[in-house]
Amino acid sequence: MTPADIPAVIAIERAAYSAGWPTTVFERELTTNALARYLIAREGPPGAPPVAFGGVWLMVDQAHVVTIAVRPECQRRGFGRLVLHGLVELATLAGMESVTLEVRPSNEPARALYRRYGFYEVGIRKRYYADNHEDAIIMTTEPLDSPAYRARLARLRSELGARFPAGFTARHLEAVLPAWSAAAQEKPGP
């Protein structure tokens, strides 16, 4: 994601998140937050408007997913998986030990997506969300370099390959580390 994508990404954020949810300060994230990495997914040729985006902070040895959203009319077509996959691959390639995030208990679509990626619940932050004082569920992955998680990521990668048969790495997901393609070819862990 580059500054040129910010207006389209803000439009996705506004459409996908309920009113009252805090908005991301994308300019600052892209220009001054050295920990932040943002991805966008486009449908169509390079330069087509993004349909989804997500961001992660790489903090010492822990990655933290800070946002992920798909344009409402494009949901349930695999783009959430695609972006989350990219964020987890980024964290893996950056040597992070695991990935964490917070999610609202009421957000069943997001919780289901995260469970699919092996996130499990490890705690609650009471009254975490400022707009309605809803608690946050804290979710985390197994160690990213564990054989079990490597096998899970490889299986999910091949599922995405079936969903985006023309090669999701090049056509659908931008701004992943150059090593992405090499990682996508890796064999599943033992």
Ligand X SMILES: CC(C)(COP(=O)(O)OP(=O)(O)OC[C@H]1O[C@@H](n2cnc3c(N)ncnc32)[C@H](O)[C@@H]1OP(=O)(O)O)[C@@H](O)C(=O)NCCC(=O)NCCS
Catalytic residues: 102, 114
What part of residues 119-178 is at the interface with ligand X (CB under 6 A)?
none
For ligand X, the closer of residues 112 and 148 by Cβ is 112
**Positive/negative CA dihedral, 59, 63, 16, 105:** negative
Question: CA of 136: how far to CAs of 68, 83, 110, 181, 187, in Å?
Answer: 16, 21, 12, 34, 36
Q: What single-letter amino acid sits at 135?
A: D
For ligand X, the closer of residues 30 and 139 by Cβ is 139
Rounded distance between C-alpha atoms, residue 96 and residue 133, angstroms: 31
22 close to 130: Cβ distance less than 8 angstroms: yes
x/- map, 77-116, ligand X, by CB under 6 A: xxxxx---------------------x---xxxx-xx--x
Shortest distance in whole angstroms from residue 52 CB to ligand X: 6
For ligand X, the closer of residues 133 and 187 by Cβ is 133
CB crowding 110-127: b at 16 or more within 10 Å, else e: bbebbeebbbeeeeeeee
Rounded distance between C-alpha atoms, residue 42 and residue 165, angstroms: 15
For ligand X, the closer of residues 31 and 120 by Cβ is 120
Coil/strand/helix, residue 37: strand
Shortest distance in whole angstroms from residue 190 CB to ligand X: 27
x/- map, 12-51, ligand X, by CB under 6 A: ----xx----------------------------------
Shortest distance in whole angstroms from residue 110 CB to ligand X: 4
Contact residues for ligand X, defined by CB under 6 A: 16-17, 68-70, 75-81, 103, 107-110, 112-113, 116
